[in-house]
Amino acid sequence: MRALRVVFGVSVGGEATTMTRSMTGYGRREAVWTGGSVAAELRSVNHRFCEVVMRLPKALTSLEDDLKRTIQRRCTRGRIELTVSLIGSREGEKSLTLDRALARQYHRLLRELQRELHLGGTIDVTLLAGLRDLVSVVERPVEDRQLKRIVKRLVIGTVADLDAMRRREGEALARDAKARLQMIREETKSISARAPLVVQEYFDRMKARLEKLVGADAPLDLGRLNQELAQYADRCDLTEELTRLGSHLTQFETAFKSREPVGKTMDFLLQEMGREVNTIGSKANDATIAAHVVKIKGELEKIREQVHNIE
């Protein structure tokens, strides 16, 4: 009985497991601290590169670089949004401050203006309270080392949850893509079996047409006919294209086992496979092969949609 080994929490038998990861994922964790509770939430979606967006309370802005590096160590592609929220904490508590020196200046200048213009009335607290900038609202920042340590641990755990979800999603994408690759291989085998018959059918049609033109009793120049057949066979030979297509399929399947991000590599291989399939369709000039080509193109397009979500 073969030994079972575990890689990144995924059971693996004799065949290497896929390491493909999706770029879509979600993770959330929450913890309690002396000032209330704190929650960290991560969301990731498709993106050509790795873009990390941070939404942190003011008290935690000093952690931004550390948290971004923590995320980038596990995620190399995707738009990842981190939101840290303080719930029921002292964050956001406000206090009022009075600028006494400015109030005295206001009072002095208003008294001077009153005397200069011979104005009546009184300069009291009600009047001064309505003046700009005398009273301001100040938020009291939260300075808590314990909170920062908790947030760091929360984000590390949330990144692990996000990564696990991205791996599960990647497994599903890989299974679907592999099934479609097998369909493409079956269609390719049908094309390989059909290709030699195309040349023979062309020879038979040409021979029948010539016999009809010159008459059944007239001798045919079989040498010239075979020469024409050889030129046609060379023009419509699909061996090179089928070989390259098979190679690309193998490389694509191998990419699923890579521990590195493979989304861009897969996208490139799909482009190359598309070129080979287009060439096969144009060179063969055969309705049966054309039908197989249409099926292969359909499967390639469905795989491409999946690959756009692979890291």
What architecture (CATH level 2) is domain 169-307?
Up-down Bundle (1.20)
Query: In the chain, where does the domain assigned CATH 1.20.120 lie?
Result: 169-307
At residue 222, the pLDDT reads 63
Q: What is the rounded average pLDDT of the residues 110-133? A: 80
**Torsion sign over Cα 237, 239, 244, 245:** positive
CA distances from 301 to 226, 265, 308 (A): 40, 16, 11
If one compares 22 and 111, the residue with the highest pLDDT of the two is 22
Nearest CA-CA partner of 52 in 39, 61, 43, 60: 43
The residues, ordered by sequence, that sit 6+ positions from 296 with a Cβ below 8 Å of its Cβ are: 184, 187, 188, 277
- Which residues contact residue 214 at a Cβ distance below 8 angstroms, ignoring those fewer than 6 apart? 220
Asked if residue 264 has pLDDT above 80, the reply is yes
SS3 3: coil
What does the chain come to in residues?
311
For the residues 196-206, what does the mean pLDDT come to? 73
Is-above-0.95 flag for pTM? no
